[in-house]
């Protein structure tokens, strides 16, 4: 065993710090899921995506021929952790070109599709922004029950149906869409396909759905006789469910590095805040309750780090992750929740002040996280679904649902 980082990985962290100091305003605190809400935030995020691409960081772990740098998963994890720590936006190319649509195309797409779509993502171009159409009004955790259907008609697919909770649909150029293609007698899992859909196609309507803090992150997306070329099928028809089960490994894992960086940033900020804040004549950093709470968070955050390195190393040596990304997703959610709640306890009533208010402490970091962590914990599989997966695939327990 050897848990050291290579010299290039250590210096990458430094480079990212330098990049952030130069490019990111000091009052910039936006979570990686809400950069698509306000137009000015979005424009700024896109400009950073472009710069990250020019640095060779955006998709550094992709092969060179698709715009990457052939970097290891470990190095990419170092990047994702540090980028989130320094609050760098624009890492995902929608939801998410870098996280799973790119990796899935490399797994299941044909060469034409890879050549067509991967460089757009890799270059940080607005045409490389994706959204993911999985959830439907009556198909959340029970994904296989989706109803949106694609029918072959005169050399095209014709898509009808509705998706919901589609993050970034209002910004995306492309949709990674799960549809029913099999006949109605087929097993649900054997009748799903993945299509690449141009979001500018006639028949697509995107309606905003605001979240509880009033931000526009997700949407309803309606498909009315949307025509999609047959060549936009990814992988095999009716094998989409099986493809997705594998590519969800990437989706779930892709949140981990960012969750780690965000949590570590909050921890360090709270430590600094505790050292600067006086109550009853001494700093609250001397209060044993606060010391222990923050120390407990440090332990959990360090475990997340080890989990992330473990799965990255496994992918680097060619071991296919099975349950690990579900474990990491659940752990990341737990860590984000714990540090956000610890933060509210330490800030007290000031944590309810609007994020951009002058009265907000720590730049609104804590309230931001308090609002965002429940969403993170639902996206890409709820805690309960992740635990079902771990129970079945790692512990070999019977299906529980």
Partner 1 sequence: MDFNYTEQQLMLRSIARDFLSRECPRSAVRLLEKDEKGYDPVIWQRMAELGWLGLVLPEIYGGMEAGFMELVVLMEEIGRNILPGPYFATVALAALPVLEYGNEVQKSLYLPPIARGEKIWTLAAEEADAGSDFNAMITYACPDGDGYCLNGGKTFVPYAAAADYMLVPALVPSDKENGLTLFIVEPSLMGVKVELVPTLTGENLGSIRFRGVRLAEKDILGGLGRAEVIMENMLEKAGLLKCAEVSGACQAVLDMSSAYAQERVQFGHPIGAFQTIQHRLVDMLTSVEGLKYLVYQAAWLMSVGLPCSEQVAMAKVKANDVYQNVALAGVKIHGAIGFSQDHDIGLYYRRALASRFFPYSNDHYLEKIAGHIGL
| Residues of the shown chain interacting with partner 1 in the complex, contacts defined by CB under 8 A | 1-6, 74, 267-268, 271-272, 274-275, 285, 288, 290-292, 294-296, 298-299, 302-303, 306-307, 309-310, 312-314, 316, 327, 330-331, 384, 387-388, 390-391, 394-401
CA–CA distance, 83 with 96 (Å, rounded to integer): 16
**Buried/exposed 248-286: b ≥16 CB within 10 Å, e otherwise:** bbbbbbbbbbbbbbbbbbbbebbbebbeebeeeeeebbe
Could you tell me the smallest distance in angstroms from the CB atom of residue 291 to partner 1? 4
Name the residue among 70, 86, 87, 112 with its Cα closest to residue 32. Answer: 87
| Residue 140 main-chain phi, psi, to 5 deg | -100, -95
CA distances from 76 to 69, 309, 371 (A): 10, 10, 27
Q: DSSP characters for 198-247?
A: ETTSTTEEEEEEE-TTS-EEEEEEEEEEEEEEGGGEESSTTBHHHHHHHH
CB of 309 to partner 1, least distance (A): 6
State the greatest distance between any 2 C-alpha atoms of the chain, in Å, as a whole number.
79
Closer Cβ to partner 1, 17 or 207, answer by number: 17
User: Which of residues 66 and 313 has its CB atom nearest to partner 1 in the complex?
Assistant: 313
Closest approach, Cβ 162 to partner 1, in A, equals 29
To partner 1, the closest distance from the beta carbon of 25 in angstroms equals 25
**Rounded CA separation 13/117 (Å):** 29
The smaller minimum CB distance to partner 1, of residues 170 and 305, is found at 305
Q: Smallest gap, in angstroms, from Cβ of residue 126 to partner 1? A: 35
Between CA 54 and CA 261 the distance in angstroms is 22
184 vs 400, beta carbon nearer partner 1:
400
Least distance between partner 1 and beta carbon 142 (Å)? 15
Least Å distance, CB 249 to partner 1, is: 17
| CB closer to partner 1 out of 4 and 154 | 4
Listed in sequence order, the residues at least 6 apart from 326 whose beta carbon sits closer than 8 Å to its beta carbon are 252, 381, 386, 387, 389, 390, 393
In the bound state with partner 1, the residue whose beta carbon lies nearer, of 180 and 327, is: 327
CA distance 258 to 252: 11
Residue pair 99/130 in contact (Cβ under 8 Å)? The answer is: no
Q: Which is nearer to partner 1, 180 or 334 (CB)?
A: 334
């Amino acid at each position: 065993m050897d848990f050291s980082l290579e010299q290039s990985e250590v210096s990458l962290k430094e480079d990212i710090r330098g990049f952030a100091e130069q490019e990111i305003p000091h009052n910039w605190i936006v979570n990686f899921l809400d950069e698509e809400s306000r137009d000015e935030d979005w424009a700024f995020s896109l400009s950073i995506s472009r710069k990250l691409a020019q640095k060779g960081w955006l998709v550094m772990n992709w092969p060179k021929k698709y715009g990457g740098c052939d970097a290891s998963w470990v190095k990419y994890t170092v990047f994702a952790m540090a980028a989130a720590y320094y609050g760098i936006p624009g890492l995902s190319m929608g939801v998410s070109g870098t996280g799973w649509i790119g990796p899935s195309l490399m797994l299941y797409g044909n060469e034409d599709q890879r050549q067509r779509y991967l460089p757009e993502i890799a270059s940080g171009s607005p045409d490389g922004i994706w959204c993911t159409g999985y959830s439907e009004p009556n198909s959340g955790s029970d994904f296989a029950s989706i109803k949106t259907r694609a029918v072959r008609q005169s050399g095209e697919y014709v898509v009808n149906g509705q998706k919901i909770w589609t993050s970034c649909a209002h910004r995306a150029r492309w949709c990674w869409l799960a549809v029913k293609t099999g006949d109605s007698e087929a097993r649900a899992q054997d009748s799903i396909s993945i299509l690449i859909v141009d979001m500018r196609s006639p028949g697509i309507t995107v309606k905003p759905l605001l979240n509880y803090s009033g931000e526009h992150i997700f949407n309803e997306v309606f498909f009315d006789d949307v025509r999609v070329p047959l060549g936009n099928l990814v992988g095999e028809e009716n094998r989409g469910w099986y493809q997705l089960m594998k590519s969800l490994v990437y989706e779930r894992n892709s949140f981990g590095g960012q969750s780690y960086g965000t949590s570590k940033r909050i921890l360090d900020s709270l430590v600094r805040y505790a050292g600067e804040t006086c109550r009853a004549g001494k700093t609250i950093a001397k209060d044993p309750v606060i010391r222990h709470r923050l120390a407990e968070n440090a332990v959990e955050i360090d475990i997340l780090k080890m989990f992330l390195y473990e799965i990255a190393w496994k992918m680097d040596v060619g071991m296919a992750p099975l349950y690990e990304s579900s474990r990491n997703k659940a752990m990341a959610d737990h860590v984000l929740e714990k540090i956000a709640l610890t933060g509210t306890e330490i800030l007290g009533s000031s944590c309810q002040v609007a994020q951009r208010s002058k009265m907000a402490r720590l730049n609104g970091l804590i309230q931001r996280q308090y609002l965002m962590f429940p969403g993170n914990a639902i996206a890409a599989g709820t805690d309960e679904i992740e635990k079902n997966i771990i129970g079945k695939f790692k512990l070999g327990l019977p299906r529980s649902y």
